[in-house]
A = this chain, B = another copy of it.
Amino acid sequence: MTETNNIAILETTLRALAESKKYVTLRDILTTIHAADIAAIFERLQEEDLPLLFRLLPKELAAETFVEMQQDTQEALIRTFSDRELKQIVGELYVDDAVDIIEEMPANVVRRILEMADPEMRRSINELLRFPEDSAGSIMTTEYVALRPSVTVQQAIGYIRKVGPDKETINSCYVLSPDRKLIGVVSIRRLLLSDDEATIEQIMDENINSVSTLTDQEEVALQFSRYNYTALPVVDQEHRMVGIVTFDDAMDVMEEEATEDMQIMAAMTPTDKTYLHSDVLHLFLQRVPWLLILMVSATFTGMIITGFESALAAQAALVAFIPMLMGTGGNSASQSSVTVIRGLSLGELDFRDVGAILWKEIRISLLCGLALGVVGFVKILLVDKLLLGNSDITIGVTLTVSITLLLTVVAAKIIGGILPLAAKKVGLDPAVMASPFITTIVDALSLLVYFGVATCVLRL
């Protein structure tokens, strides 16, 4: 059911069934579809058809589908729910999902949801809501399996069979001391493969990684992909266990963080709303500030060109190469910066690699610069001068452009490689150093180099 065209076919079928009011068939089909797909289909329905179709879903599937929906659809649905319906949905939610939903809702909806939650869930939700956004505490769930070190494997399995239904996962069970400190972990696999009479203490893995409630979610996701965990325990300042983050949340974070990096690299304020669910004003506000900033900061390049106006008038051919030089500089810089930014995001690089990066970028940039300079020299003479017959182009101009290519590429790659590290060092997001920002610096620099070289070579 994943392929989007399969979903499109399903959507057409469901729409037809809904129109001909064949609700029983509709319900039967819906129960065979994964909640994520139902949500995707429902998102595309008219808002007025949604409550009716949603009510066809069995309780558990309804809750799963609800979790997968976009925030504005969730909000619209809640407004159509009776108290009883809302209570049912909330009762089926895992605490971390409930918190995700609540975090995005307006206050009056939040109040209604909390009223409909049972007291224990309300307490857990309120607890989780206190953690800062994007922290491990805010994405964790409190529904995990805790074991005492002294019980036997058989007792533990019996206990898990009893409490399992309410836990988000039973794949990892956490061993806590009497004062709730985390002292080990046992996987369900280890439990099943161990002797019935062994104690948890004997089989648990004491060598356990945990994160603090305040750890940034990006760091949490990094641990998942580094260590291949299905769940990661979250502890408070006193190393008391308070919850777990599961791999599915970590996957969402990984996707979110990669999206965020790409948005920042493309000069946008990051947003976690999907494109189709963002209104035009939201997208406009996400994009226009950076366009304005970059437009205004291009004042420098304008000033540089104006300063060399008389030189450009004397050698009109120089103007035609400005876009190419600036483009090459920008591309060279973003190649290096994106490489380093991604390495930092994945934890493969850090500040102590600054020397290695610098040395590598110097050598790569010299090779690239030489290649571009030589190819540029030949291409300008053969294509621009001979083939296109631009008689303004002299050997001097060609040489000026080639030397500028070499110098610009070297400077661009070094700046592109080092600035993200510097940003990280002073606590900024390295991604802000990517394409547009670095490009603005490199643009100005390449013009300065160009006119500098022109002044020397052409004696302007």
A residues touching B (Cβ–Cβ < 8 Å)?
Answer: 1-5, 8, 31-34, 36, 157, 160-161, 164-165, 169-171, 188-189, 192-193, 207, 209, 219, 222-228, 230, 247-248, 250-252, 254-255, 258-259, 261-263, 265-268, 274-276, 280-281, 283-284, 287-288, 290-292, 294-296, 298-299, 301-303, 305-306, 309, 312-313, 316-317, 319-324, 326-328, 331-332, 334-335, 337-343, 346-350, 352-353, 356-357, 360, 363-364, 367-368, 371-372, 375-376, 379, 383-384, 388, 390, 392, 405, 409, 435-436, 439-440, 443, 447
A322 x B320 contact (CB < 8 A) = no
Which chain B residue shows the least CB distance to A388?
A: B303
Which chain B residue shows the least CB distance to A361?
A: B283
A363 x B331 contact (CB < 8 A) = no
B364 x A32 contact (CB < 8 A) = no
User: Which B residues touch A353, using CB under 8 A?
Assistant: 276
A interface secondary structure, majority: helix
Q: Which of B161, B224, B225 contacts A193 (CB 8 A)?
A: B161
* A259 touching B376 in the complex, CB below 8 Å, given contacts A440-B327, A443-B327: no
User: Which B residues touch A342, using CB under 8 A?
Assistant: 259, 262-263
A415 CB to nearest B CB, Å: 14
A287 x B364 contact (CB < 8 A) = yes
Which chain B residue shows the least CB distance to A337?
A: B266
Q: How far is the CA of A225 from the CA of B256 in the complex (A)?
A: 11
User: Which B residues touch A290, using CB under 8 A?
Assistant: 331, 335
Q: Which of B251, B266, B291, B316 contacts A409 (CB 8 A)?
A: B291
A200 CB to nearest B CB, Å: 16
* A309 touching B302 in the complex, CB below 8 Å, given contacts A261-B262, A291-B331: no
Q: How far is the CA of A178 from the CA of B379 in the complex (A)?
A: 67
Q: How far is the CA of A32 from the CA of B208 in the complex (A)?
A: 9
A–B pairs, 26, beta carbons within 8 Å:
A36-B228, A157-B192, A161-B193, A170-B188, A170-B189, A230-B230, A230-B247, A254-B255, A255-B346, A263-B342, A266-B339, A276-B343, A276-B348, A283-B339, A283-B364, A288-B368, A290-B331, A291-B368, A295-B376, A298-B323, A302-B323, A303-B320, A306-B320, A313-B316, A322-B322, A334-B435
A357 CB to nearest B CB, Å: 8
User: Which B residues touch A303, using CB under 8 A?
Assistant: 320, 388
B352 x A306 contact (CB < 8 A) = no
User: Which B residues touch A1, using CB under 8 A?
Assistant: 209
B34 x A227 contact (CB < 8 A) = yes
Which chain B residue shows the least CB distance to A160?
A: B192
User: Which B residues touch A313, using CB under 8 A?
Assistant: 313, 316
A305 x B284 contact (CB < 8 A) = no
Q: Which of B276, B295, B338 contacts A356 (CB 8 A)?
A: B276
* A295 touching B372 in the complex, CB below 8 Å, given contacts A32-B207, A335-B287: yes
User: Which B residues touch A376, using CB under 8 A?
Assistant: 295
Q: How far is the CA of A126 from the CA of B247 in the complex (A)?
A: 31
User: Which B residues touch A291, using CB under 8 A?
Assistant: 328, 331-332, 335, 368, 371-372, 409
Q: How far is the CA of A346 from the CA of B36 in the complex (A)?
A: 13
Extra contacts besides A2-B209, A225-B252, A258-B258 (18): CB < 8 Å: A33-B207, A36-B226, A36-B227, A171-B230, A188-B188, A224-B251, A225-B248, A228-B248, A262-B265, A267-B334, A275-B348, A276-B353, A288-B368, A291-B371, A295-B405, A296-B379, A298-B327, A309-B316
A282 CB to nearest B CB, Å: 10
Which chain B residue shows the least CB distance to A350?
A: B4
A193 x B164 contact (CB < 8 A) = yes
A343 x B274 contact (CB < 8 A) = yes
User: Which B residues touch A267, using CB under 8 A?
Assistant: 331, 334-335
User: Which B residues touch A319, using CB under 8 A?
Assistant: 305, 309, 312, 319, 322
Q: How far is the CA of A390 from the CA of B324 in the complex (A)?
A: 26
Q: Which of B280, B363, B375, B443 contacts A360 (CB 8 A)?
A: B280
A158 CB to nearest B CB, Å: 10
* A443 touching B305 in the complex, CB below 8 Å, given contacts A164-B193, A230-B230, A266-B435: no
